[in-house]
Amino acid sequence: MMLHKNFIDGQWVAGSGETLNINPSDTRDVIGRYARADRAQAQEAVAAARAAFASWRSAGIQQRHDILDHIGTEILARREDLGRLLSREEGKTLPEGIGEATRAGMIFKFFAGEVLRLDGERLPSVRPGVEVEVSREPLGVVAVISPWNFPIAIPAWKIAPALACGNCVVFKPAALVPGSAWALAEIIAHSGLPAGVFNLVMGSGAEVGETLVDSTQVDALTFTGSNTVGRALAPRLVGRGARVQLEMGGKNPLVVLDDADLEVAVHCAIQGAYYSTGQRCTASSRLIVTAGIHDRFVERLVEKMQALRVDHALKEGSDIGPVVDQAQLDQDLDYLRIGREEGARLVCGGDLVERETPGYYLSPALFTETSNAMRINREEIFGPIAAVIRVQDYEEALAVANDTEFGLTSGIVTTSLKHASDFKRRAQAGLVMVNLPTAGVDYHVPFGGRKGSSFGPREQGGYAREFFTIVKTAYTAS
Ligand SMILES: NC(=O)C1=CN([C@@H]2O[C@H](COP(=O)(O)OP(=O)(O)OC[C@H]3O[C@@H](n4cnc5c(N)ncnc54)[C@H](O)[C@@H]3O)[C@@H](O)[C@H]2O)C=CC1
Ligand SMILES: O=C(O)CCC(=O)C(=O)O
């Protein structure tokens, strides 16, 4: 089996060890061998990025555009294969895997266009005879640390804007999903980028991640992952004057009001809570339902949940793939136990399921009779588990929705324009969804949360430039 190497300074290099990635739908299926970088290699990658910066920052915008556009074209041309690899490695279903690969291609295309749109401003000065220009410059070396749940889209929405703005990149993917990261790196490696502008170092957070965080040659870190890790890393970067952007967890509410269209409400709950095995930071884990529709909603939701097919991610007809690995499955099972101990009623699912292939299969679970104070409603579970909270009216629903330390996405299902408009104004979240699932976002508009979910400027869309560039104000006597 071929060893997939790290990519440093334009060269493919073996690491100090190897990682095997395993298919969570069939644990007998070893997908590949991936080089594991150590601290020294992480430092070499940073040094290569630093050395490449001077020329890349001044590379013409046509060259930058063409390279990013080419990467996007390649990803789109290979989206079926990339999607298949992604689904095999991460466990989301094949349509979801191909959808994610497509999104990654679109992201590179979008940021190719952004290269041409990185504008500045020219203003009159308050002093006669002076002109003011405001321009944007790249930061330097950007470290990209990404999680396992979106193995190609999240790296794409960090790497593409970083390069578009003229930065060099050192990319450390999650150890569970090196395959998608390597495939993306291979496409980037063949795109005509000068050596050192993009580097891949696969390895552990403790070794490679920590080295990037503490390297004085790294100017910025863009991180997506757990709240615990993100919160711990941020002060270290800020302390040495580096920039940091964090996207972390969510405990996203979906409010369902009495006047909701029942089918829309159930569709949003199923999509938001259980698709992608609930392993999305945008997942709806709290279903906040007013009393008049509560019983009908629960009954219809359970009916639909029972029809969901949990099976091998690559099998046709699978709605929900496996949980990503044993550790995440243990975490999910722990929360199922905690929910029961807290007095919540498990009305559906939560069972380990046996399929033809040995995998981490868990049936989607629904708790009812829960309160917002319970741990299952306060902590991010990151699995196919949701809880219904019964409320009396819209005001209570809104208060419960906002009563969380997180603030990534917040959804409402209603036919009332008044309540929808009010919710858009008062939901304490970075993203608000009306009659749509809380998960599933566009690639050309800002993405990010409030409170404990995010830190720093938004990702994606034109707003990404706020993080990946630094502003300069120049005064000229005319
Ligand atoms: N909000 C989100 O998008 C995500 C949330 N999670 C949550 O986090 C839990 C654990 O998942 P993990 O993938 O292990 O998340 P994690 O936060 O441990 O890992 C995310 C990334 O950070 C790296 N990392 C870990 N420790 C580091 C350190 N000390 N220094 C630098 N880099 C470090 C990891 O190698 C990975 O690339 C999940 O069960 C879930 O609750 C996980 C993935 C995504
Ligand atoms: O829901 C989406 O489309 C994005 C989710 C996401 O970024 C995440 O789970 O990390």
User: What's 324's domain CATH number?
Assistant: 3.40.309.10
| Helix (H) and strand (E) counts in the chain | 14, 21
Residue 147 CA: which ligand 2 atom is closest?
A: 10
Do 274 and 416 lie in one domain? The reply is yes
Q: Looking at the structure, do residues 188 and 306 belong to the same domain, yes or no?
A: no
Q: Ligand 2 centre and the CA of 150: distance in Å? A: 7
- Output the CA 439–ligand 2 centroid distance in Å: 6
Task: Give the per-residue pLDDT at 45.
Answer: 98
443 in any annotated domain: no
Q: Which SS3 state, helix, strand or coil, does residue 372 take?
A: coil
The one-letter amino acid code at 285 reads: S
447 located within any domain? no
pLDDT at 119: 84
With b meaning 16 or more CB within 10 Å and e meaning fewer, what string describes 256-292?
bbbebeeebbbbbbbbbbbbbbbbbbbbbbbbbbbee
What is the pLDDT, as a whole number, of residue 130? Answer: 96
In a domain, 446, yes or no: no
Q: Based on the domain organization, do 264 and 238 belong to the same domain? A: no
247 is catalytic: yes
- Are 234 and 257 within one domain? no
- Token readout for 434 is 């009306």
Same domain, 133 and 87: yes
Residue 448 lies in a domain: no
Q: Tell me, yes or no, whether 72 and 191 share the same domain.
A: yes
**Residues 309 and 333: beta-carbon distance below 8 Å:** no
Which domain covers residue 318, as residue numbers?
253-434
CA of 229 to the centre of ligand 1 (A): 6
99 occurs within a structural domain:
yes
285, 387 in Cβ contact below 8 A?
yes
469 and 358: one domain? no
Amino acid of residue 345: R
- Which of 44, 89, 207, 247 is flagged as catalytic? 247
> Residue 11 belongs to a domain with what CATH number?
3.40.605.10
Structure tokens belonging to residue 21: 């990635």
Q: What confidence score (pLDDT) does residue 217 get?
A: 98
Q: Whose CA is nearest to atom 7 of ligand 2?
A: 281
Rounded distance between C-alpha atoms, residue 206 and residue 221, angstroms: 15
- Give how many domains the chain has, as a whole number: 2
pLDDT of residue 267: 98
Q: What is the pLDDT of residue 9?
A: 98
SS3 174: coil
307 shares its domain with 416: yes
Give the H or E element holding residue 318: none
**Atom of ligand 1 at shortest range from CA of 249:** 1
pLDDT for res 478: 83
Beta bridge partners of 17: 36
Answer yes or no: is the C-beta of 380 below 6 A from any ligand 1 atom: yes
Ligand 1 contact via 226 beta carbon (within 6 Å): yes
Task: Check residue 148 and give its pLDDT.
Answer: 98
Question: Both 274 and 289 in a single domain?
Answer: yes
Q: What is the mean pLDDT of each run of 10 residues along the chain (478 residues)?
A: 97 95 97 97 98 95 98 98 98 98 98 94 95 97 98 98 98 97 98 98 97 98 97 96 96 98 98 98 98 98 98 98 98 98 98 98 98 98 98 98 98 98 98 98 97 97 97 96
461 and 359 belong to one structural domain = no
Residues 78 and 214 in one domain: yes
Q: Are residues 7 and 137 in the same domain?
A: yes
